[in-house]
Amino acid sequence: MNPLPARVLWGVAATLIALQALITVFVIHRESLTFDEVDHMFAGYMMWHTGDYGLNPEHPPLVKLLATIPMLGRQLWVPTFKGRDFKAEAYLDGRDWLARNDGDRNQLVFQMRLTAGLLALGFSIVVFLAARDLFGDWAALVALALVAFDPNTLAHSALVTTDIGVSLFFVSSIWAFYHYVRKPSWTRLILASVDAGLLLATKHSGILLAPILLLLIAIEVFAAQKGTRTRTSLRLSDAFCLIVALGVVVLWSFYGFRYAARPAGLAMSTTVAHYVEPLGPRTAAIVNGMASLHLLPESYLIGLVDVKRMATFYPTFIFNTNYSHGVWWYFPSVIAIKTTIGLLALLSLAVFAIASRKLRWSRELTFILVPALFYLLVAMVSNMNIGARHLLPFYAYSFILAGAGTAALASQSRRWLVVCSVLLAAHIVSSLANFPNYMPYANEAWGGSANTHTLLSDANADWGQQLFQVKAWQDQHPGEECWFAYFAYPEVQPETYGIRCHHLPNLDTYWLGGGEKIPPVIEGTILMSAGDLSGCEWPSASLNPFDAFRNIQPAETIDHAVFVFRGRFDMHQAAALSRVELASQSIWRGDAASALPLAEEAVDLDPSSIMAHQTLGDALSAAGRKVEGRQQWQQALTLAHTTLDPGAQTMFVPDLEASLKK
């Protein structure tokens, strides 16, 4: 196919990007805060104003600093630090900071999201330019149309999180390295190094760039002529070392070239050495060695450790089933469910084009397929089975590959042009059919967005973004008492948006507080987020206090992610959990007298509850009744061994065994 006239090419590209921007602005304007945004926003504000990198070290600073540029020069109210665990401090203080300064107006949130949204536009532009550079004008326009209307990209385009940013810099880093390999120069090498640093400063998964570059270098050396392999190996190895070194310098610049995570007078709630200890002596030795030499900032090291720690216990929900661990087939299933049928078909045709040599193997194809497949493979074995957002870098390369395959086939015959055009149109139509609610997207083969919550969880369906719509529902039902199991509570409070419902307990209210004592039977209206309905944070469905609701048809559905149930409901498991949480909070405050009757009520309400017996044991021990406490801990341990699979037992068994050894 002939190159397009420049006016047509850039006109169509500008139109597609403008449409993406309009859709993104509309989507983020109607969404309440999502689960992870509060601590990102608060951490970014504190970085600018106090140089504090100890809030939300789980993620590097770039996106947080970018998003909070509109907050520069504004002296907003800041809560007093309470010396809590760094995660609790960032989430709860961030929640209170936004509630006090922004409330339900969402003005500050909208401004920060718009600024973060620049990364989404940059992402689309880089995909377009890289595809054009590698495979030509037609491939570039197809790739741009795919990314501009991709439901997963649109769902996260302007959220103050790291997924779009890391996708942008993964593509630009590999593209920059491709340019250096093709025509080496100091300018191109420095550009590749800066790109690598920006990637590292965006998300910890950016460290995957190093093995990807090594793979690409190995392929380049193997493909070089025999007499030039040594020279090629040395040149590319030197380039790799410089990219790593300069990339780390760029990373340090985002931390102000300061090792300490927090400014003078403030200390982290944990040390690197203490935080890495559960990962074993080998990992601890490596991380502690890097810390002692100050090779990387303290905050960055704690974040790396946090990623590894989270992956060791994070549960999985897929196909209406709870697993206590990750499953290797999770992300292939996510691709099948969360990708439009049009894009899946275009990717299949791209594979066909490669196999039939209509799209010939080349260096350009290598620089697309190697990063994509390596990233997917790492995701499959990572055990962090949360959502399609973690695959956005893979999708970035998929858009380019689909564009290349489409251009190659369409140039062969008018028939292929028609087929590919229909599939591209199907991608766009499927996306627009879900406008403006993209978070719970699933393609038509899986029943669409209405069925996503039975297949996947977390940001695949429900990231707590529906509070404006829940408030609208409540306004339509004035005076109706309601009970709300909200997935993002207490990190985000429905009251901030004017919602007046009783709070049902979840796993986060156990750790962070905010729960209330609920009755064992509720007659009336219950609202339930998809995340709580699936019990995706629990390692076993038996621990989910709302598991029975999965077999009840809701009376109404709000945004495919909040379900309204009406009737009379047995809530004894949730009632027991609410008392467990309140008792635990009392114990942590040193008030065993208040905790004991609550824990006893919990056991009476749900004798099969591991948490109830464990908490009663804690309360009895705190009250000086250690023999009785040990009996309750033993009962909890027996229940854990007999009712949970080995993976789920890790939530309770180590702590119970440690308690019994005291």
Q: In what order do the strands lie in the sheet with 556-558?
A: 502-503, 482-485, 521-529, 562-570, 556-558
Contact 57, 46 (CB under 8 A): no
* Same structural domain, 507 and 590: no
Residue 12 lies in a domain: no
Q: pLDDT at position 383, please? A: 86
* Same structural domain, 589 and 610: yes
Interval 339-356: pLDDT, tens: 999 999 999 999 999 999
Residue 484 lies in a domain: yes
Interval 61-99: pLDDT, tens: 999 999 999 999 999 999 999 889 999 999 999 999 999
Interval 102-154: pLDDT, tens: 988 899 999 999 999 999 999 999 999 999 999 999 999 999 999 999 999 99
**Amino acid, res. 497:** Y
Q: Sorting pLDDT into bands at 50, 70 and 90, what band is 642?
A: very high
d(CA 637, CA 652): 8
* Same structural domain, 560 and 581: no
* Same structural domain, 529 and 493: yes
H helices within 51-157, ranges in order?
62-67, 86-101, 107-135, 137-148, 151-156
* Same structural domain, 564 and 649: no
Tokens linked to 608: 């099969």
* Same structural domain, 481 and 504: yes
Selected residue with higher pLDDT from 1 and 310: 310
* Same structural domain, 585 and 559: no
DSSP per position, 271-324: -HHHHHGGG-HHHHHHHHHHHHTT-S-HHHHHHHHHHHHHHHH--EEETTEEES
* Same structural domain, 479 and 534: yes
Nearest 5 degrees, angle CA 541-CA 547-CA 553? 140
Question: Residues 511-537: what's their mean pLDDT?
Answer: 95
Domain boundary among 570, 597, 631: 570
Contact 149, 432 (CB under 8 A): yes
Residue 648 lies in a domain: yes
Q: pLDDT at position 146, please? A: 98
Q: pLDDT at position 227, please? A: 86
Domain boundary among 570, 594, 625: 570
Domain boundary among 518, 545, 570: 570
* Same structural domain, 463 and 535: yes
Residue 589 lies in a domain: yes
* Same structural domain, 468 and 558: yes
Number of domains making up the chain: 2
* Same structural domain, 474 and 547: yes
Residue where the block lists tokens 């809560």: 79
Q: pLDDT at position 329, please? A: 97
Percent of all residues in the chain with a pLDDT value above 70, rounded to a whole number: 100
Interval 469-514: pLDDT, tens: 999 999 999 989 999 999 999 999 999 999 999 999 999 999 898 8
* Same structural domain, 477 and 553: yes
Residue 528 lies in a domain: yes
Interval 360-411: pLDDT, tens: 999 999 999 999 999 999 999 988 898 899 999 999 999 999 999 999 999 9
Residue 396 lies in a domain: no
d(CA 614, CA 636): 6
Residue 492 lies in a domain: yes
CATH number of the domain encompassing residue 593: 1.25.40.10
Residue 221 lies in a domain: no
Interval 542-581: pLDDT, tens: 999 999 999 999 999 999 999 999 999 999 999 999 999 9
Contact 189, 382 (CB under 8 A): no
| Residue 265 in this model has a pLDDT that exceeds 90 | no
Tokens linked to 605: 């309400």
Average pLDDT, the chain: 96
Q: pLDDT at position 4, please? A: 84
Domain housing 598: 576-660
